[in-house]
Amino acid sequence: MENNKISVGLDIGTTKIVAMIGRKNEYGKAEILGIGKSKSLGVHRGVVNNITQTIQSIQQAVQEAEAEAGLKIEDVTVGIAGQHIRSLQHSDYITRANSEVVIDEEDIDLLINQVHKLVMLPGEEIIHVLPQEYKIDGQAEIKEPIGMYGGRLEANFHVVVGQVSSIRNIGRCVKSSGLELEGITLEPLASANAVLSQEEKEAGVALIDIGGGTTDLAVFKDGIIRHTAVIPFGGNVVTEDIKEGCSIIEKQAELLKIKFGSAWPGENKDNEIVSIPGLRGREPKEITLKNLSKIIHARVVEIVEQVYVEIKNYGHEEQKKKLIAGIVLTGGGSQLKHLKQLVEYITGMDTRIGYPNEHLAGDSDDDIASPLFATAVGLVMDGLKRQERKCAEKEVEQMVETNSEENVSHEEDIIQQPKKDRKSFLDKLTERVKDFLDNAE
């Protein structure tokens, strides 16, 4: 089997690290060949804070995935999230020298590169520049400007910004684990690709990915990403609260949350009690389920309200920006009982739990289609897309070469050319991180 048809997603989370190996099957769906999972020790709120431990966890997850798939992993697509990610809206324009020539890729690149010159806070770097809609000579709401005439090309951009050092640290961990960085993707985007359908993105939807250390939000409308945010709270703070509130150890708190936890306190009767074994020689503790869900409820409400503030920041109350498909919850934290009802109650929006089976092969394991693995599945798909782009570019290059050998009219070269110049910013970022790591050694 050719190795270049395989893609590997590496989700470096706060609670777990997942390595997932996938390839496209004949129906164009992603088929997962192997999956490895390890406890993540060196990550806090989505940011690496202990490189050695993170490397060990990555290697463990990778080895597990390799063993299951019977393949050796070389390149990985990594997700970045973490509390340092923020996003802003920005509009920019270029005045074209010759308005008698149609707008092409180069004009758009010029415009996008201009956005990259935005002055950021020290230590920040632009991760994604996502064009929203274009305006040509004052004519608004243009989705695809290529091939149109015009002198002034404007666009609104959604710009995602993150800390350089955090991105480099992730690069460092991947490289020191003996892997190559194939690409970097924003985690909310990866999860969205795995969980949302095209119809939902068109109708307007907010994806909330509740992880261990962070909660990621991505808002789509008219098929375009409109807003992203990372909130530095996730399932771990809920566990922390249970631990403090019930005076028990973390392991027990986590188990309680998973087995008996509910986001809705009205559910439990007063007399439902769980008994927890005490530490060495101490009496067991009795905890009422009502109290447990009160503790969980308080914290979850806080997380959901913060996310809701971000959805309001996007402006979902305007008729044009209405999110018709409501909210989709995914990530490990979305498996909490009655969370869907709570989110509907707080936001008044339709809510469903998102499983990453949107683009998975039909015979995939149920385990893989769990919300826990949404980001990993999304990263695998992202890697597969990248490879397709590379293959297409190679073909174009070969065509251009054969064309110029046969001395075909210059016209065709020009048509073929732009395709290979166009690099998404993330590819450039990946290259920069790679260069930096190579030079740093």
Average pLDDT, integer, range 85-89: 88
Residue 417, pLDDT score: 41
Q: Vertex 226, ends 223 and 228: CA angle to 5°?
A: 125
pLDDT tens sequence across 225-245: 999 999 999 999 999 999 999
Q: Which region among 106-120, 269-283, 344-358, 414-428 has the lowest average model confidence (pLDDT)? A: 414-428
Which residue type occupies 94? I
Q: What is the largest CA-CA distance in the chain?
A: 88
Domain edges within the chain: 235-299
Task: Quote the distance between the C-alpha of residue 17 and its chain's center.
Answer: 14
What Cα–Cα distance (Å) separates residue 283 from each residue in 275, 286, 289? 10, 9, 19
Average pLDDT, integer, range 293-304: 96
Please answer whether residues 210 and 332 qualify as being in contact, where contact means their C-beta atoms are separated by less than 8 angstroms.
Answer: yes
Residue 411, pLDDT score: 46
What Cα–Cα distance (Å) separates residue 21 from each residue in 37, 46, 379? 12, 22, 10
Predicted confidence band of residue 267 (pLDDT cuts 50, 70, 90): low
Alpha carbons within 13 A on the beta-carbon side of 363: 3
Average pLDDT, integer, range 23-31: 89
**What's the CA gap between 193 and 205, in Å, rounded?**
12
Number of helices (H) and strands (E) in the chain: give both, helices first: 13, 18
Q: Which of 132, 146, 21 is nearest to 74 (CA)?
A: 21
Identify any residues that bridge with 20 across adjacent strands, giving them in sequence order: 9, 35
Average pLDDT, integer, range 74-82: 90
The pLDDT mean for the chain works out to 89
Q: The dihedral of CA 232, 308, 317, 349: what is its sign? A: positive
Residue count of the chain, please give it. 441
The helix or strand, by DSSP H or E, that contains position 267, with its residue range, turns out to be none
pLDDT tens sequence across 102-153: 999 999 999 999 998 888 889 998 888 889 899 999 998 898 999 999 999 9
**What's the CA gap between 413 and 207, in Å, rounded?**
42
Predicted confidence band of residue 3 (pLDDT cuts 50, 70, 90): low
**What's the CA gap between 298 and 83, in Å, rounded?**
22
pLDDT tens sequence across 379-430: 999 999 988 888 888 888 888 878 766 654 444 444 444 444 456 667 777 8
Q: Which of 433, 431, 428, 432 is nearest to 109 (CA)?
A: 428
* DSSP-based three-state secondary structure for 280: coil
The correct answer on CATH 3.30.420.40 for the domain covering 235-299 is: yes
Alpha carbons within 13 A on the beta-carbon side of 162: 28
